[in-house]
A and B are shown apart, each in its own frame.
Chain A
């Protein structure tokens, strides 16, 4: 049996699982669309890995990240749970030697992480607005009837990118429609959109931050050649896109899980079998005070394994209730 580490990143748009070996090499990865069903997607990802690796691999550590990191941790039995920013920074500094800046654009958020001497020294994450993230690009590609994979390449063919208002997703869309109706070429509009999104990213997140090379660009949107080119022009610097750009969060968590193992901790991984367990999620609104917290509870084979969502801690404190252990 080969020792391996599992990293899981459950984001708004995609759910990624990776396996790293003892030396830290990427052995397997899955990239699935979350489609609003995180539990089923995590189980599907696990099942895919299990099919190929279950008999030859022993998982010695599991790490989870992404917006559903706590959910994922409860489902599979994770050893370490971390936020996306740390996970992405760890992966970037492990894979790209001497990296100083990480640009990350995912499904619904974007991040700028500043790293100096291997340590995160500053970061910014989009706050009040999600303009320019993957979901918007998806939507626009859909509206124009283009496969998302070709969207960025088309931008590279632009000769005269038009200026698109990129401050707000809705206004960007109206502006694009307007430019189409004026008769601008599609590639010029798409290139303009890429530039607008990069402009928005840099002015929202990059304000007051020192963006130094080497610059790594990761997250699903890094696949988009148009955005890559727009960053290259705006920052006047080479943009490095690692091979594993789309699963960097999961890679970071597998690296951290491996560190836990090196420290001598044993894993609490429930095994690949949890792909087949019956999980049920239910929720209720607590009526005990005017806050009306929406409490979520997760059941595994009719036993409650976790609760969260309450402000006062009265429900999340009851973690062990009903586990029958």
Chain B
């Protein structure tokens, strides 16, 4: 069996480590590209959202490299991702492609099922499974912590590209190692390297919270490098959604004490009181949580036609009104043009900056008298 999985940001680091760890032969699909997109779009129903199309492109590209089995997440609730696995399997079958899709249901809904499926893939000892999880977890966490720091500092880096280079190196090193101690050391080493990068101290930055549907938030190909674009406009990006926090909350039952979105779900009340699928409630809750801490703006991103985020979108104006934080909602699909996106980001960054300047001016007035 040669197993593959769809891309989503740094997920490939996690998945490759985990699957290789339990002794499987893994085929990592080529990074998402225009080719992936065209392959996916060509064979998908038009009104499905973007994740289905790009996932499919990933499988097809991995198939060309010899993969015969693919992992996909399942899900319950209003988000359509829950039945995408089944649709993708049908599409592959119609195309005459011999590839089995294994759908992993979230363990918080069906405890044990995930673990049973992993064990069914390969008859290995529990110990080995746990070790693989442990290793994959540490790599993911380190990568996320580095990225979290980069999202802030890249807004002021003096030499464009220096942080990205470090991130790329770190990622390669993490892929190569299988020792927990070295992973931890790499994490500290690269974190301090990123922190000591030369910054443009003069540059005035603003803080923007990035929320929305997890796939579009995490996969830079899909969001047209949204975070980097924002950083280069002098925007520090705060992002509550990380793969590691998601894993902690949904796969590990939240046993680790790292900040996730649990609190945010409570804070979504009274704006949004029920689970609307996907990360709709987290979008609203995180907006409230971060607005209270003090941010200059909120950007919400989702695939076009994403129902949970449409619900959140319609609730966000109330949050804006109460906490006086401007929001911008972006929907992306295969038609999204980079120029249009950039125009909106620039305009939003201007808006946030002018507001910030005015607020500061008002403060000066108060204290000046």
The size bracket of the interface on A is 20 to 34
A267 lies within 8 A of chain B by Cβ: no
Q: Which residues of B contact A117 (CB under 8 A)?
A: 358
B314 touches A208 (CB 8 A): yes
Chain B residues 34-90 with CB under 8 Å of chain A are: 34-36
Chain A residues 106-145 with CB under 8 Å of chain B are: 117-123, 125, 127-128
A123 and B326 alpha carbons, distance in the complex (Å): 10
Q: Is the interface of A mostly helix, strand, loop or mixed?
A: loop
Minimal beta-carbon separation of A105 from chain B (angstroms): 16
**Interface locus among A27-35, A82-90, A197-205, A212-220:** A82-90
What are the interface flags for A285-311 relative to B under an 8 Å C-beta threshold, 1 for contact and 0 otherwise?
000011110000000000000000001
With A122-B326, A127-B331, A313-B160 as known contacts, state yes or no: A84 contacts B35, CB within 8 Å.
Answer: no
With A208-B314, A313-B160 as known contacts, state yes or no: A86 contacts B346, CB within 8 Å.
Answer: yes
With A119-B355, A121-B326 as known contacts, state yes or no: A311 contacts B347, CB within 8 Å.
Answer: no
Q: Which residues of A contact B317 (CB under 8 A)?
A: 208
Q: Is the interface of B mostly helix, strand, loop or mixed?
A: helix
Q: Which residues of B contact A290 (CB under 8 A)?
A: 30-31, 33-36
A128 and B303 alpha carbons, distance in the complex (Å): 12
B314 touches A120 (CB 8 A): no
Minimal beta-carbon separation of B329 from chain A (angstroms): 9
With A120-B351, A290-B35, A292-B34 as known contacts, state yes or no: A84 contacts B343, CB within 8 Å.
Answer: yes
B335 touches A83 (CB 8 A): no
A180 lies within 8 A of chain B by Cβ: no
Q: Which residues of A contact B30 (CB under 8 A)?
A: 290
A85 and B354 alpha carbons, distance in the complex (Å): 13
**B351 touches which one: A118, A121, A289, A292 (CB < 8 A)?**
A121
B339 lies within 8 A of chain A by Cβ: yes
What are the interface flags for A73-110 relative to B under an 8 Å C-beta threshold, 1 for contact and 0 otherwise?
00000000011111000000000000000000000000
B355 touches A85 (CB 8 A): no
Which residue on chain A has the smallest CB distance to residue B335? A128
**A120 touches which one: B35, B160, B342, B354 (CB < 8 A)?**
B354
Residues on A lying within 8 angstroms of B by beta carbon are: 67, 82-86, 117-123, 125, 127-128, 208, 289-292, 311, 313, 317
Q: List 10 A-B contacts (CB under 8 A).
A: A83-B347, A85-B344, A117-B358, A120-B350, A120-B355, A121-B326, A121-B351, A122-B351, A290-B35, A291-B34
What 9 A-B pairs have minimum CB-CB distances, sorted nearest first?
A85-B347, A290-B33, A83-B346, A86-B350, A208-B317, A120-B351, A290-B35, A83-B343, A83-B347
